[in-house]
Amino acid sequence: MRFQQLIFRGIGLLMLMMLAQTGEVLAQKSRQQLEREKRENQDKLKNIQRILNETASQKKVSVGQLKAINQQVANQKKQIDLLSDDLKLLDGELRSLEIARRELDNDLSKLKKEYGQMIYEASKRNAYLNQLIFLFSSTTFNQLIIRYKYLKQYTDARQGQVKQMEEVQAQLATKRQRITAKQQQQKSVLTTQVQEATKLETLKSKQNEVVQELSQKESELRAELAANRKATAQLDANLRRLIEKEMRERAERQRLERLAREKAEKERLAREKAERERAAAAGETPVIAEKAPEPVSTGGMTEAEVSLASSFKASQARLPWPVRGFVSDHFGRKEHPVLRGVIVDNLGVDIQTSNGEAVRSVYDGVVLDVTNMPGMSNVVAIQHGDYMTVYAKLQSVVVKPGQKVSARESIGTVATDSEGTSSLQFQVWKNTTRLNPEQWLMRR
């Protein structure tokens, strides 16, 4: 009976250890993900600080500087949230470790108690002598063998119990070490969180200072806004002309293809008629060629353009960023960061970056147009079938119309305005429809 109890207890202990290890593996996966997010967010904060230092070097506040601070505040809040998640995860890990430690402690106590009872009973009964009597009192040789095997199993079980106690003690020691390490880690995270919260308050204070200073330049900001709206409208009109011209050319190709098909069909019908008449005159069966299947409509695009458009569409949310930096102005309508009650509309996204940063094509394509426009500096439009990406506010350009470009290929460098802000205006179009670029770029 005691032998069976030992076996069941050993199985139970093994399952307990396996469950504890499984829980730790799952927690480790969450830990790795959290640590990765924290590292990525810290990298973003460093990048924004570098960009902010460049704009701040102009010795005067600007909207670009405010946007960089706004992004810093957002990322600093995220860092504090990630630290809160870290603390929650640590709490969960500590609870799991404590539960496992208590269960192992209980099992160790039971094992020690049972083992002590076995030793006590064995010594009380003079176990070795009793075992010899038990063996040699066998009436047959077979009975002797059976009793010997039983005694060996019992001895093995006792030795197994000793081994289990040693394993549980080792597990307990490891658990206690991990609990101590987690508690130290928790203290460290709490300290870091306090430091990050202090940084956030400093950033918010700086943010308020910049807003107050910019608010005193309302007339200057309104003039800047009017100039930007004019430049945006001109860019939009120019892009629409390009797209409409391209669509007219496709429509013309489509019309010519249709006329060619109609002509070919008339010729086929004429040949079929002539063959029927010839066969009828000769008393033969006419040989009629099978009609070719109708071609699939491509909207006037070539096969290469159709393939390119399809692969571009399939890359949604996975396109590389055209420039390093952060989105300082998102797609669509929103309130001006300083002027109250003023709504601004971004036809793409502004990506704020460092001075002289390289601008790269987000996908394979053909350069449709390169132009220079007031308020937008150099503008490059790249065609991807019936999709188009636009890169405005470039200081220099190294591509020309008709040139094929590859994904991540440099097309120029970003321009820096009079206030020291370097930003790229990036747009995505599907024919004449503007799309939200952030839904196409990979997440950072």
Cα separation, 41 vs 203, in Å, equals: 16
- Give the range with max mean pLDDT: 46-50, 66-70, 108-112, 383-387: 383-387
Cα separation, 132 vs 155, in Å, equals: 14
The residues pairing with 397 across neighbouring beta strands, listed in sequence order, are 412
Dihedrals phi, psi of 159, to nearest 5 degrees:
-65, -40
Q: What is the pLDDT of residues 84-124, one digit of tens each?
A: 888 888 888 888 878 877 887 787 777 677 666 766 655 55
Measure CA of the first residue to CA of the last residue in the chain; give whole Å.
63
Cα separation, 92 vs 98, in Å, equals: 10
C-beta separation of 76 from 199 below 8 A: yes
Tell me how far CA of residue 426 lies from CA of 139, 140, 235, 266, 382, in angstroms: 97, 96, 12, 49, 11
Q: Identify the three-state secondary structure at position 127.
A: helix
Structure tokens at 338: 């300083």
Which residues, other chains included, contact 436 with Cβ-Cβ below 8 Å and sequence gap of 6+? 331, 332, 349, 428
How many helices (H) and strands (E) the chain has is answered by 6, 12
> What is the pLDDT, as a whole number, of residue 52?
76
C-beta separation of 350 from 329 below 8 A: yes
> What is the pLDDT, as a whole number, of residue 24?
52
Question: Please, which pLDDT band fits residue 57 given cuts at 50, 70 and 90?
Answer: low
Cα separation, 347 vs 351, in Å, equals: 13
C-beta separation of 392 from 325 below 8 A: no
Q: What is the pLDDT of residues 224-254, one digit of tens each?
A: 899 999 999 999 999 999 999 988 888 888 7
Angle at alpha carbon of residue 368, lines to 366 and 369, rounded to 5°: 135
> What is the pLDDT, as a whole number, of residue 159?
62
Q: What is the DSSP letter of 437?
A: G
Cα separation, 405 vs 412, in Å, equals: 12
Structure tokens at 313: 């569409």
Cα separation, 286 vs 284, in Å, equals: 6
Mean confidence (pLDDT) of the chain: 81
The domains located in the chain, with CATH, are 2-215 (1.10.287), 219-242+304-439 (2.70.70.10), 246-288 (no CATH)
Q: What is the pLDDT of residues 292-308, one digit of tens each?
A: 676 665 667 888 889 99
Q: Is the pLDDT of residue 406 over 70?
A: yes
Tell me how far CA of residue 35 lies from CA of 82, 93, 303, 443, in angstroms: 9, 15, 46, 17
- Is 0.75 topped by the overall pTM? no
